[in-house]
A and B are shown apart, each in its own frame.
Chain A
Amino acid sequence: MAAKEIAGGSGFVDDGSDGDPCPICLGPMLQDSYLDTCFHKFCFSCIKQWIKVVSSKASKQLSSVKCPLCKTDNFSVIHNYDGCSFERHYIDQNISDGFVLTKEQRYRLRCYYTESDFVADVSDVARFWKLQKFLYPNKWLEAWLRRELQALMQEEDVDIVLFHLVGVMESFCKRIEQRRKQEAKSAEATNQEQFKTLVSEAARPFLMARTDRFVDELELFLAAGMNIEAYDEIYKQRLGWNNRREIGAASEEREAVEEHNVRTRVTPYLFISEEDSD
């Protein structure tokens, strides 16, 4: 209440702590969550307790619960949302809680809300295409793709999409290889374009609006030529996320270790694609 009074009038709305108390505990909303149909908000632990009470009285497994405020039937509680991901707690416990992102997957998803060019000096994209490095297999690619797809699609089983994309990339490389035997040199610019177009086309039905960024991220990862751990390390360092602002809830132990690391914030970095090769 006090918070509301202080913020009152200024039109300031901070999602999650907008001052409305939880209707169950009447206290400030902790770990706010909302029901999937009527969108009424409660503390996650409060509504979970209530669901437990209702379920314990029912003779069989419930699939929905009535909202304590409006009695609308709801099938799940949405919680732990941060603007790019959320978790879903189903009333029917036979439906698993769905796929819950790991800390690493959350970090990748968060990356999609940043500018992408800050690792440009790590991943020398131009050189990657010029030296036709894409023809050499990258043994970390599958693991990297899996995590990326899981984060973007918020699904555990991404095998179909994963193998589809890998297949597209492999057949692309094969074609280039064959062409290379015939011609002396193939223009790296067209290779790059072709590659990105092909992968975009293959990924778009699954990733939709995030496809272009995904292909850029894929290119950056491939061009970096690093394993996932090393790449993540640099990526996070550039983002300044290995410090206090680490994503995910339980990162205290990590923070303790990395506390004394130099804090480097992201500075937008303009990447010039024409490398001075001479």
Chain B
Amino acid sequence: MQASSRARLFKEYKEVQREKVADPDIQLVCDDTNIFKWTALIKGPSETPYEGGVFQLAFAVPEHYPLQPPQVRFLTKIFHPNVHFKTGEICLDILKNAWSPAWTLQSVCRAIIALMAHPEADSPLNCDSGNLLRSGDVRGFNSMARMYTRLAAMPKKG
């Protein structure tokens, strides 16, 4: 079983090497010693409070991958209704019930970028963030998210 997931991850690894130039917003890196551990750096989408930030994701790939989804969490602190503020856990359907084995680590990254641009306030993991959006306080939400992007996802100045 592990052999097939390993083979598939290796295929993805090669694909990532090839595509690196094609998708400048995603930088997927495989752990040097363990092909089941990956990290990704994704750029915060433009015209969102995350713009200009670089967010680090950690992937733990299960041995039954791609029949089971990878576990992904934010290592970089982010203020987003669908991301747990403390653990970085992500609430995204494709990482749970809607997973399909045709997804790849790369496409999961794209889905997470899309989630950053389109928060789903009705299924919040971060209630404070969800409540701001649900009460219509977009400005409040944006400034909080912006602040955390500056604090955690941007290089320190000076």
Contact = CB atoms under 8 A, between A and B. Distances in A.
Interface of A: 21, 23-27, 46, 49-50, 53, 66, 68-69, 71
B7 A27 contact: yes
A46 B66 CA distance: 10
B102 interface: yes
Which of B7, B68, B102 has the most chain A CB atoms inside 10 A of its CB? B102
A68 B102 contact: yes
Contacts of A46: 101
B interface: dominant SS? loop
B11 A26 contact: yes
A68 B4 CA distance: 18
Contacts of B15: 26
23 contacts: A21-B11, A23-B101, A23-B102, A24-B8, A24-B66, A24-B101, A24-B102, A25-B4, A25-B7, A26-B11, A26-B12, A26-B104, A27-B7, A27-B8, A27-B11, A46-B101, A50-B67, A50-B101, A68-B100, A68-B101, A68-B102, A69-B100, A71-B100
Interface of B: 4, 7-8, 11-12, 15, 64, 66-68, 100-102, 104
Contacts, number: 34
Contacts of A66: 100
* A-B interface, 10 closest residue pairs, ranked by CB to CB distance from nearest: A26-B11, A68-B102, A68-B100, A23-B102, A24-B101, A53-B67, A69-B102, A68-B101, A26-B8, A25-B8
Which of B7, B8, B11, B101 has the most chain A CB atoms inside 10 A of its CB? B101
Contacts of A68: 100-102
Contacts of B68: 53
Nearest to A25: B8
A276 B7 CA distance: 68
A237 to B, nearest CB: 42
